[in-house]
Structure 1
Amino acid sequence: MSEEQEPWQWPEEIWRGKVNRVRAGDTLKPAAWPGGARCAVALSFDVDHDSNELRDGGTSIGALSRGQYGNRQGIPRIMKVLRDHDVKASFYVPAVIAMLYPDEARMFVAEGNEVGIHGWIHERNSVLPPADERDLQMRSCDTLEKITGARPVGIRTPSWDFSDSTLEITRDMGLVYDSSLMADVDCHKLLLDGEDTGVVELPVEWIRDDAVYFNMNRFSALRPYTPPEAVFDIFMREFNAAYDEGGIFQLTMHPHVIGYRSRIWILDEVIRHAKTKGDVWFATHAEIVDWVKQNA
């Protein structure tokens, strides 16, 4: 019935049901972070590479080459910064990308970083039939485990998209956490139709994502409009507030976006600035979720 009505015609049980399908539950904010740290820093990279073009059936050689840049130049630059500062991060890798670049995916895990689920081919999971979404999410997990030797415990959905089935699938798979939603800045429980799923959310936000400031599409009006200095300022203000609140500074980046010579300094300076505080814990998303589950 609701699909045939305008939203303003929906009876209360319809709009309440849509709102309450997936909802943020109790906040999981610990009194302290490991070692007495005041703030947790969760750096993450969505390793999309060629999948941004492939997911919609695109075969543009130019677009695919930009994706390949993420592997050839973006990841080496990112890894140098992480190694220089001796910090770990979480890498969310579509299964197709792990198959295209298996040595890269194995390297993430071998160096102590986390690899999480990021779809099969960066598909738009919210438009898939539920059975297809379930199959792809499960196959993605199995593929990442086969390639890296480590079974993922968390998921970041492609494009941070959610269907009515996504959380149910994540729960049924026994995954520990999701990092795709934006209801909070602190970790929290995820509710499905009002019931605790046991899945923890580590929230993201578009303002803490490099792609919204730097992406472009030559066939549309989408053009970069924010200079790197302004992006750095936004990220720093987000970190400073997280530090003042004793919370989490979560940041999402993309190798084919942040991994350019005029931008990679942002990552380097973010880490340097955070380290000047002296009491900051750099950790993978999985490590942070494990801590809050035990200490919040």
Structure 2
Amino acid sequence: MNETNKPAEPWQWPEAQWRRVVGGVRAGRSLRPKTWPNGARCAVALSFDSDHETADLRDGGRSISVMSQGQYGSRQGVPRIRSLLDRFGAKTTFFVPAVAAMLYPDEQRQLADEGHEIALHGWIHERNTLLPEEAERDLQMRSADKLEEITGTRPVGIRTPSWDFSANTLKITRDMGLLYDSSLMADNDCYELMMDGEPTGVVELPVEWIRDDAAYLHMDRWTGLRPYIAPSDVLGIFAKEFELAHAEGGIFQLTMHPDIIGHRSRIWILEELIRVIKAQPGVWFATHADIVRHAKAAAQ
């Protein structure tokens, strides 16, 4: 390709082009309710991404070591988390790749029977931005079918693996009639997702890397990624996030992983955090789906 045929650089784009890119998927109207159920001041949306072995299977399963870390999440992490949540009576959401659900179907059934939500998290923790639209659509629909087959309930929400959101993800999610997504970061409160300037009816319950245990505690020896912050400081960050969410009357959302937070020297972070939350008046622990349903109904 000669110089004259090279695609324009983004800084050379006309205004219409960069506006089209920005407007492909964008935050629409806020769905922050004036009140929460039973007079609560703050909604608490705890979530767990049960990736298990799929974190490495998506890349071919070349690292038996990494897959064993994922297996720890099911053998040790989830039982500790279940016990802790049961003690405090907290209902949460588990985002589960279909392959992980197939590896551990009883785990998903037990969680669902205890009142937790099982939601979509891809087929094999694939990277959506590397997939053609047909493959992404097929995997997302097959994942929903498989989770429904295992738990008896069709999932209503999705969190994309690694929060990797392609140009086709929202269209697929809308076409499937899903209630919500939890992969994007434009706000603290729920908002309606827009696609090419039009409302989709899909609600976003936003995430953030600063509210994710992996950002602080994950270890990857090949990339040189090392935990860089003390567990007590992680608790401090999460507690401060909750403190202001409570003061604002909004949502405190947190993303965790059973193979990270479920370790003996880490599970106490979650336990202490729940104690901090419960020490404040007017908190509502709920699944992502229940929070979205309330926010959407209040907006209407």
Aligned match of 1:140 in 143, 167, 170?
143
CA offsets 1:226-282 (integer angstroms, 9 cap, x no match): 110000000000000000000000000000010011110111111111111121000
Q: Using structure 1 for the length normalisation, give the TM-score.
A: 0.98
1:258 aligns with 2:261: yes
Q: Aligned equivalents of 1:255 and 1:113: distance in 2?
A: 15
Give the SS at the match of 1:4.
Answer: coil
Aligned match of 1:75 in 65, 73, 78?
78
Matches within 5 A, 1:155-174: 155-174=158-177
CA offsets 1:54-103 (integer angstroms, 9 cap, x no match): 01113221111111000000001101110000111000000000000010
> Structure 1 residue 2: deviation in Å?
11
Q: Aligned equivalents of 1:220 and 1:281: distance in 2?
A: 39
Aligned match of 1:110 in 92, 110, 113?
113
> Structure 1 residue 115: deviation in Å?
0.4
Q: Aligned equivalents of 1:70 and 1:91: distance in 2?
A: 13
Distance 1:49 1:12, change over 3 A: same
Give the SS at the match of 1:181.
Answer: coil
Q: Which residue is 1:84 aligned to?
A: 87
AA aligned opposite 2:221: R
Q: Aligned equivalents of 1:203 and 1:125: distance in 2?
A: 18
Aligned match of 1:14 in 12, 17, 22?
17
Q: Which residue is 1:122 aligned to?
A: 125
Gap runs ≥5 in structure 2: none
Q: Using structure 2 for the length normalisation, give the TM-score.
A: 0.97
CA offsets 1:4-51 (integer angstroms, 9 cap, x no match): 221111111111111000000000011110000000000000000100
Q: Aligned equivalents of 1:108 and 1:76: distance in 2?
A: 10
Q: Aligned equivalents of 1:202 and 1:257: distance in 2?
A: 22
CA offsets 1:135-194 (integer angstroms, 9 cap, x no match): 000000000000110100000000011111000000000000000000000000100001
Give the SS at the match of 2:222.
Answer: coil
Aligned length: 296
1:52 aligns with 2:55: yes
> Does the Cα contact within 8 Å between 1:2 and 1:10 map onto a contact in 2?
no
Q: Which residue is 1:279 aligned to?
A: 282
Aligned match of 1:186 in 178, 184, 189?
189
Q: Structure 1: which 4+ aligned runs deviate by more than 6 Å?
A: none
> Structure 1 residue 218: deviation in Å?
1.1
Q: Pairwise CA RMSD of aligned residues?
A: 1.2
Distance 1:275 1:220, change over 3 A: same
Q: Aligned equivalents of 2:232 and 2:224: distance in 1?
A: 23
AA aligned opposite 2:143: S
